[in-house]
Structures are given as C-alpha cells and as structure tokens.
C-alpha cells in the first residue's frame, strides 16, 4: 500500500509538472483557490472528498456527509495579500444540510497616486468579499445534490460594485470506498464593474474523485478543473471563441495517529503543499487545528513560501458515543454486581436498523462484541470477560461503536473505555537475618 501511495504521488507530480495553466488571473480566482489548510495541503483537490464545512466552497453537495454542526475559520497568507475564511454547517433530520460561508480576500497599504503621479497620503485598500449560502440534499444515501447562492462585493480605492452568482454540484459515494464529485461554478455568472469595463466571472467545471484506504486511515484525492474562458472584443463582450484547459490537482492524507495526528501532501501546477493537523474528539464535540505550507516550485522556489492556518469545532448534531464507569475497573467473575456500566448516547436522523459495539485491548485486538438489530439498549454492562468467557488481561481498553439507520446512513465513534487492574501494587519485602 505504501508503494501504491508513493507511485500515485509521483504520477501526480509528473503529470502536473507538464502544465503551466492556473486559475489565477481570472476574475473571481479567490473563489477557486482554496479555503482552508486541509484542502490547500491536499493540492486544492477537494471536489470528490468535500467532507467538512469547506464543502460549500468546493462542492456544496458534500455537506450532506456532515453529521454535526461545524464551525471552521482559516487564515491564508498570500503573495502580497491575505485571505480569511469562516463557515458554519447545520445538518437537519428531514430538510438536508445548510451552510453559510464568508470569504475576504484583500490587501492594504497600496501606494495611491493621482494622474500626475503625486502620492496620496491615504493608501488604497483592495478587497473582494464573498458571502455564500449553501444547501445539500441527498435523496439517496449514496447520492447528493447541492447549490450555492453567492453575493460578491469588490472594492478598490473609490470604486465598488456588487454581483450575484450561483453554483450547482453533485456527489456520489459509490462504489465504496470511492467518492466522485462534479461542480459547475458560476453557472449564474457574477458581473462587477468598478469603473468602465465590466468583469464577468468565468464558468468553471470542477470534477474530482477520492478513495479511502486502510479503513479510512489514508485518503487519496484528485481534481480536474476546467475554466471556460471566452475571448472578448474591445468592448468586453464575449465572442464565439473560447479556450478550455484542464488543470490537475492531487493530494494524499494519512492519519499517523488515527483521529489525532494527520499528515498531508499535495501538488498542483504551481505549488507543492505540506500539511499537518492535530485533532481530538469527545462524545459531544471535536476540535482541531490544521496547518499548511505551500512551496511555489513553478518559480524555481524564488517566490516566498506561504503559510495557512485554520481551526474547526464540531458539536451537537447526530452522534453516537459511550460514557463508561468506573474509569478503573477490577472485574471479579464470581461477583455479578461488579461490572463496567456503559451508557449509550445516541441521536440519529432515522430509526436505527442495526448496531455493533467492539471492545479492543491495547494491541487493537477485539476481545468482546455486542451487537443487535434496531436501537441499542441505553445501558450495557461488561463483566471483564472476552467472547469465550476468559478474564481479559490488565491494561487500557477502547471501544468502537457503529450504528446504521434505516436509510443506511452510518454513525460511528471510538474512544477510551476503561482501564482494567486486577493486580495490586508491586512491592518488595526485605528479609533481614535474625528477624
């Protein structure tokens, strides 16, 4: 598997090295660059993955994969500018998933001069802002559709304008472990005019795929982006001729410590990206910090590397987890009252069809299995014995719980269960002669 990932990474790099096209320089390019460190570290390939709150930026259909409320904020250092991103996603039981995002791209302190080249005391400020409302609905558990409605504002010195736009996307999560996405960006094209010449955002087609390997511990994702750019006459009107070019992106994500430490690498026609994430989840919420470092290889590394930093918090929504007591457990098989109590906390979008609870030792081996149909009991007990009735060894134990509802949507969680101690503290007896 490691050889496969290495070969795929080399292939992505060799293919992309032959391309010099980028989305940069086109109107509205800040909406097609990358929103947060995770996607940026994956080479901006996120259309077929789209499984966090920035899905509204890349592929709104992907929002249906979120089971919890999520708030994501990010800061990106650019070349002489900066970009700020914030988003919030809200899953509902019957109405689909909603999301809102705000994006600010700009630069301050721009040298201001008049027509006689006299410097002004007040520097110019340049800013482009996007306010996006996203919606995703999945008529089937493996297929979702999504749409964005965008309000765009642009300011430069004394000039400003406002435009409206819309995107449409779809995401397919079959055959597992693959997923595929396609998006038409700017199907309703925003047009802004600061002075004389109107600027129309081009339509862009994004298509991508992702595959989850090693039980989800590794993800490989690729995108192909095609801006459809029409030639324009001297008055800014589009002609019948247009140029279409395909721009590749790719990346790999690997969980070094599952659910806690994540490493990423990606490539696009301009940059090599590296990333690191530190995450932690509790039953009721999760939190994470992500970082990305982008190296501009297309300039032979003469362009300064850039840094991206982001943070997310997810909470409430549809979840399942277990609260167990006591934290330190000394099982005694002859005493049926001495058991570990496991309270199941569960909130699903539809009635539960089946469930499974696995207890693993410190080596990851399954020692006890609980499972059943329909909803799990609100309280389970464990007597410290394995599936064949033997007392388990001392050590720390973890659990994995999986719930599948009637629409085949899955909720799962893993966490620390208890520590088993059956031996007393180690000590030393000193025996002295004559005593």
Residues of the chain with pLDDT under 50: 1-21
Is 355 inside any structural domain? yes
Instruction: Tell me, yes or no, whether 360 lies in a domain.
Output: yes
43-82 confidence digits (pLDDT tens) = 999 999 999 999 999 999 999 999 999 999 999 998 888 9
Per-residue model confidence (pLDDT) at position 422: 84
171 within domain boundaries: yes
Structure confidence at residue 239 (pLDDT): 57
Cα(342)–Cα(115) distance, integer angstroms: 75
Q: Look up the CATH number of the domain holding residue 106.
A: 2.40.160.60
Please tell me whether residues 273 and 408 are part of one structural domain: no
The pLDDT of residue 26: 81
Domain range enclosing 388? 319-420
Indicate whether 96 belongs to any domain. Answer: yes
Task: State whether 347 and 300 are in the same domain.
Answer: no
**Does 431 map to a domain?**
no
Residues 181, 86 share a domain: yes
Indicate whether 301 and 253 sit together in one domain: yes
At residue 251, the pLDDT reads 97
Q: Is 252 part of a structural domain of the chain?
A: yes
> 372 and 261 in one domain?
no
Pick the last residue of a domain from 261, 281, 315: 315
Q: Does one domain contain both 119 and 187?
A: yes
- Last residue of a domain, which of 259, 290, 315? 315
The answer as to whether 126 is a domain residue is: yes
The last residue of one of the domains, among 285, 315, 345, is 315
Count of structural domains, the chain? 2
Residue 435 domain-assigned (yes or no): no
Considering the domain architecture, whether residues 292 and 345 belong to the same structural domain is answered as: no
Residue 5: exposure state from Cβ atoms within 10 A (0-12, 13-18, ≥19): middle
Domain shared by 229 and 346, yes or no: no
> Which residue has 């390997």 as its token pair?
213
Asked whether residue 266 falls in the same domain as residue 208, the answer is yes
Instruction: Kindly state whether residues 250 and 397 are assigned to the same domain.
Output: no
User: Are residues 355 and 274 part of one domain?
Assistant: no
**CATH code: domain of residue 380:** 2.60.40.2550
Q: Are residues 242 and 357 in the same domain?
A: no
């Amino acid at each position: 598997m490691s050889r496969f990932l290495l070969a795929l990474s080399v292939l992505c790099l060799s293919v992309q090295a032959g391309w010099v096209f980028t989305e940069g320089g086109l109107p509205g390019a800040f909406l097609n660059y990358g929103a947060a460190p995770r996607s940026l570290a994956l080479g901006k390939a996120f259309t077929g993955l789209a499984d966090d709150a920035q899905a509204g930026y890349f592929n709104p259909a992907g929002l249906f994969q979120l089971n919890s409320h999520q708030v994501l904020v990010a800061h990106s250092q650019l070349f002489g500018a900066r970009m700020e991103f914030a988003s919030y996603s809200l899953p509902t039981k019957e109405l689909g998933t909603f999301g809102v995002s705000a994006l600010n791209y700009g630069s301050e302190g721009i040298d201001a001069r008049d027509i006689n080249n006299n410097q002004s005391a007040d520097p110019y400020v340049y800013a482009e802002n996007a306010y996006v409302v996203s919606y995703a609905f999945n008529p089937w558990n493996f297929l979702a559709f999504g749409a964005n409605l965008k309000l765009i504002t642009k300011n430069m010195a004394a000039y400003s304008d406002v435009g409206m736009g819309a995107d449409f996307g779809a995401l397919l999560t079959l055959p597992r472990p693959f997923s595929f996405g396609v998006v038409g960006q700017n199907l309703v094209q925003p047009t802004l005019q600061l002075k004389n010449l109107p600027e129309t955002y081009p339509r862009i087609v994004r298509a991508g795929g992702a595959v989850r390997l090693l039980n989800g511990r590794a993800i490989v994702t690729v995108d192909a982006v095609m801006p459809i750019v029409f030639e324009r006459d001297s008055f800014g009107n589009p002609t019948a001729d247009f140029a279409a070019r395909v721009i590749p992106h790719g990346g790999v994500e690997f969980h070094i410590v599952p659910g806690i430490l994540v490493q990423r690498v990606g490539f696009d026609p301009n940059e090599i990206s590296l990333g690191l994430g530190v995450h932690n989840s509790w039953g009721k919420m999760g939190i994470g910090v992500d970082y990305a470092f982008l190296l501009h290889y297309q300039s032979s590394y003469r362009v300064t590397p850039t840094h991206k930093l982001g943070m997310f918090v997810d909470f409430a929504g549809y979840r399942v987890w277990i609260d167990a007591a006591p934290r330190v457990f000394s099982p005694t098989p002859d005493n049926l009252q001495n058991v570990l109590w496991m309270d199941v906390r569960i909130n699903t979008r539809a009635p539960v069809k089946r469930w499974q609870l696995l207890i693993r030792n410190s080596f990851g081996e399954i020692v006890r299995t609980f499972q059943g149909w329909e909803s799990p009991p609100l309280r389970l007990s464990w007597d410290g014995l394995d599936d064949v009735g033997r007392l388990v060894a001392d050590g720390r134990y973890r659990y994995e719980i999986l719930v599948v509802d009637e629409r085949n949507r899955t909720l799962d969680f893993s966490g620390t269960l208890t520590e088993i101690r059956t031996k007393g503290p180690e000590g030393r007896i000193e025996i002295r002669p004559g005593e």
